[in-house]
Structure 1
C-alpha cells in the first residue's frame, strides 16, 4: 500500500467542542423545514439540510474522482488512488476518493481533472472507451439533504513524466494524505482500514462492494450481455 505523506497527518486532528449554530451564521449549509403532502393526502413535515454552495443555475454540487493509476512497467496491476482526511462531523479520519465542489461554469469532467490535480498533484485523462466514465447525478443521503455528486472515472498514466513526483496544491486548511491500494484487492484492503478505526466513505465502500458482486456474478452477467 503506497502512501504519500505530508508534514501534518490527518490522524493528529480532533474535535474540541460541538455547539448549536445560529441559522444566520451558516456559510455552507442551512436547515429547512418542509411541509408536504403524502400519498394519502395527509400533510406532513420533514427536516432537511440544504447545501448553499451549488453554482447559480447549476444542478451539480460536487464530483468524486475514481482515479486509476496505470503503470505499464508494474506487474502488480492497476491501483486505486485514495485519501485519508479528518472529518469533524465524525471525529474520525475517513477513507475517501479525491473530490470537491464544482465551480461556476465548470462541467463535471473538467472539475474532476482540476480537483485531482489540486489534491494529489496527479495529471489524469477521462478514458473515451469507458461507458461509465462520467456517471449520472447521485444523491448522497436523500432522506437528509439535497446534496448530490457525480463520480468521474479517470486514468493516471504513470509513464507521464508529470506523474513521477506529483505535488498537491492544497489549501491552507487542507491536510490530506494520499495513498494507493491494488484495484483487485480493494475489499480486503478496506476491511483492514475499517478494523484500524478509519471511517469508510460510502462512495468508496460501494465501489468495492460492487466489484465483489461483479466478481461473484461475472459468469451470469456475461451470459446476459
Structure 2
C-alpha cells in the first residue's frame, strides 16, 4: 500500500468537455473514513523555453479568461491524443511563434495543481531556433502577441505580475540559472 493512499470506492464523471473532464470520486481514507474528491482530468500539456540567437526568451501575451486578464507566458499547448510531448512542443512552438527548433531538451515534467487536477506539463528547452517557413499559425480562437525579452525583463514581469503562471515563472528561473552557469 502506498503511504496515505486513498482507495477509490466509486467514480462518477459529471462533465465531459473539449479540454477537461470533471469527475467525483468517493474514496476510503487511510483512517478508514470516506470522503469525496472533485477531480479534473486533463490530457497534459507542453511549455517551451526558447531563446533567440540574441539570448532573448520568446514569450506570448494572451488573455486568460479564468484570470479575466492578459498574462505573458512561454509558448505552450495541450497534448493531442496519441501525440508525444516532443511532437506537441515542436508543433506549438511553430504555431504560436513562427519559430522551429533543431532540438528539444526536456527540462522537467511537473504537476500543475495536484490537489484537484491530473494535468502534467512537460517543459522543454528549444535549441537551434529559426523562423519557420509557415510563420505563426494560431488557432481561430487564439489571439497572442509575440515578444522577445531578456531574462532580466522577464524577472521584472514576474515582480509586477505580468508573468503570473507557474510554468513560465519556473522557465524564467531555470533560464536565469542556466545562463549564470554558462557565463
Question: Same-fold call, TM > 0.5?
Answer: yes
State the Cα distance separating 1:136 from its structure 2 match.
4.4
State the Cα distance separating 1:104 from its structure 2 match.
3.3
Match of 1:178 in 2: 146
Match of 1:86 in 2: 63
- Please say if residues 134 and 153 of structure 1, whose CA atoms lie closer than 8 Å, have aligned partners that are also in contact: yes
Distance 1:140 1:47 in 2: 16
Pair member with larger Rg: 1
For structure 1, the 5+ residue unaligned runs are 1-22, 55-60, 72-77, 128-132, 219-225
Aligned-residue CA RMSD in angstroms? 2.7
- Please say if residues 111 and 120 of structure 2, whose CA atoms lie closer than 8 Å, have aligned partners that are also in contact: yes
Distance 1:148 1:42 in 2: 29
Report how many residues are paired: 167
State the Cα distance separating 1:166 from its structure 2 match.
7.6
TM-score, structure 2 as length reference: 0.77
Match of 2:3 in 1: none
Match of 2:86 in 1: 109
State the Cα distance separating 1:70 from its structure 2 match.
1.8
1:134 pairs, out of 96, 106, 121, with 106
Distance 1:156 1:104 in 2: 27
Secondary structure of the 2:100 match is: coil
- Please say if residues 47 and 77 of structure 2, whose CA atoms lie closer than 8 Å, have aligned partners that are also in contact: yes
For structure 2, the 5+ residue unaligned runs are 1-13
Match of 1:151 in 2: 123
Deviations along 1:42-98, whole A, 9 cap, x unmatched? 2121112223xx3xxxxxx21111111124xxxxxx111111110111111021111
TM-score, structure 1 as length reference: 0.64
Match of 2:5 in 1: none
Secondary structure of the 2:103 match is: coil
Higher helix share: 1
State the Cα distance separating 1:210 from its structure 2 match.
5.1
Distance 2:16 2:170 in 1: 34
Distance 1:32 1:89 in 2: 20
Structure 1 residues 27 and 104, CA gap change in structure 2 (3 angstroms): closer
- Please say if residues 65 and 151 of structure 1, whose CA atoms lie closer than 8 Å, have aligned partners that are also in contact: yes
Deviations along 1:161-213, whole A, 9 cap, x unmatched? x46x9831112111000111113553124324x2xxx351111123334566x
- Please say if residues 181 and 189 of structure 1, whose CA atoms lie closer than 8 Å, have aligned partners that are also in contact: no
